[in-house]
Amino acid sequence: MRRLTILFLMIGLTATGALPWTPSGHAQPNFQEPPPDPASLYAENCASCHGERGEGRVGPAFVHLDDHSDDEIYHTIAEGRPERGMPSWEARLTSEEISALVGYLRTLAAQAQPPAEEEPAPAHAAGADLRLVLTLQEDQVVAHASLRDEQGQLMAGEKVAFALRTTLGGQLSLGTFATDEEGVATLRYPAGEVPSLTLEASYPPQADDPVRAVASIDLPAGQQLPAVPTGLFSPNPPPIAILLLGLVVGGVWITYVWVAFQLLRILRVR
């Protein structure tokens, strides 16, 4: 009986913590309601990230939807893609609503396809001339990217993307900056502790084959560190700190040796 009570006690604790029903009952499917209207569902839940017509904002546009089956799209909506910021909708939408949304996305994608073709790479991008110059001002690298069209005219108000080329061939996006009235986009980047920096400017941003300009700058030894306030950390610890640490740890070990000496005395008494 005692074991039985313990068993029930444990079942009870797990069960009360994980009751499958919520008292308010709002998460339960209701079979009396008419089928959901996907357009309003989309406007309520999806449009804020993917755009009113699926043209993409924070979330991507529905341009590659044809590469995926209905099942895949269903699962993407249901489970989300947390690593890309897409939440899971399982808890908020019923399976019918998600299925209805899948169909609606297909129609949106069909409508969005033609304008999506037009959008990247404006006509004048191909012949644009992009130059990147890096200069060092105090402990910051200043990157000037100047942009001219094929006639050599300054291009103001255009967006240029900057990226940092990392050691092993990677790229770290540093964001996009608009050109001013002289056609120059400017980025300031802290010099840090590296011996040299390579930056890349590209125009237009997010195009498949943009115009690129790459520039490197060597950072002089004297300019290297003061970008980071050091706090208690320091590349060369003060000798007094090492001495103190050595005294404390050494004291402990000297005590161990003294204890060993006491053990020797016990052994010697015989």
Partner 1 sequence: METPSRFQPQERTLLRSLLHSGLPFYLWVAGLGGLFLWGIRAYTVQLQEGLAATGMRDYVSWGLYITNFVFFIGISHVGALMSAILRISGAAWRRPVTRMAEAITFSSLFFGALMPIVDLGRPDRILHLLFFPRIQSPIVWDFVCIFTYLIGSTIFLYLPMIPDLALLRDERSQVRGWRHKLYSILALGWRGTPDQRGSLERAMSLMAVLIIPIAVSVHTVVSWIFGMTLRPGWNSTIFGPYFVMGALVSGAASVVVAMAAFRRFYHLEEYITLKHFRNMALLVLALDLIYIYFNIAEYLTVGYKMEEAERGLLYTLVGGEYALAFWLVQIGGLLLPALLFILPEVGAVERIRRVPLLRPRPLAAAASISLAAMVLLVTQGPTQTGVDFGSLGSSVSWAVALLLALLVISTLPALRAHRILAYVLGAGLIVIQAWLKRYLIIVPTLLNPYLPIQDPRIEWTTYIPTWVEWSITLGAMAGFALLYTLFSKLFPIVSIWETREEEPVPAIAHQARQREVEA
By CB under 8 A, tell whether 152 contacts partner 1: no
> 115-122: long-range contacts (C-beta < 8 A, 24 or more apart)?
115/55, 116/55, 116/61, 116/63, 120/204, 120/206, 120/207, 120/208, 121/204, 121/207, 121/208, 121/209, 121/210, 122/204
By CB under 8 A, tell whether 69 contacts partner 1: no
Taking the complex as a whole, the smallest distance from the CB of residue 102 to partner 1 amounts, in Å, to: 22
Q: What's the first-to-final CA gap in the chain, in angstroms?
A: 60
Would you call 80 helix, strand, or coil by DSSP?
A: coil
164 contacts 197 by C-beta, under 8 angstroms: yes
* CB of 61 or CB of 125, closer to partner 1: 61
Q: How many CA atoms lie within 13 A of 149 on its CB side?
A: 11
Candidate residues 19, 91, 168, 240; the one interacting with partner 1 per rule CB under 8 A: 19
Candidate residues 58, 156, 245, 247; the one interacting with partner 1 per rule CB under 8 A: 245
184 contacts 177 by C-beta, under 8 angstroms: no
CA-to-CA dists, residue 166 to 32, 135, 169, 194, angstroms: 58, 19, 6, 11
Candidate residues 5, 40, 151, 167; the one interacting with partner 1 per rule CB under 8 A: 5
Binding residues for partner 1, total number by CB under 8 A:
46
Which tokens in the block code for residue 247?
A: 């005294």
Give the footprint of partner 1 on residues 73-132 (CB under 8 A).
83-84
Give the footprint of partner 1 on residues 249-268 (CB under 8 A).
249, 252-253, 255-256, 258-259, 262-263, 265-267
Binding mask 208-227 for partner 1 (x = CB under 8 A): --------------------
Block residue for tokens 């406007």: 43
Taking the complex as a whole, the smallest distance from the CB of residue 129 to partner 1 amounts, in Å, to: 28
Give 80's strand partners: none
* CB of 93 or CB of 163, closer to partner 1: 163
Residues that bind partner 1 (CB under 8 A): 1-2, 4-6, 8-9, 11-13, 15-17, 19-23, 25, 28, 31, 83-84, 172-173, 233-235, 237, 241-242, 245, 249, 252-253, 255-256, 258-259, 262-263, 265-267, 269-270
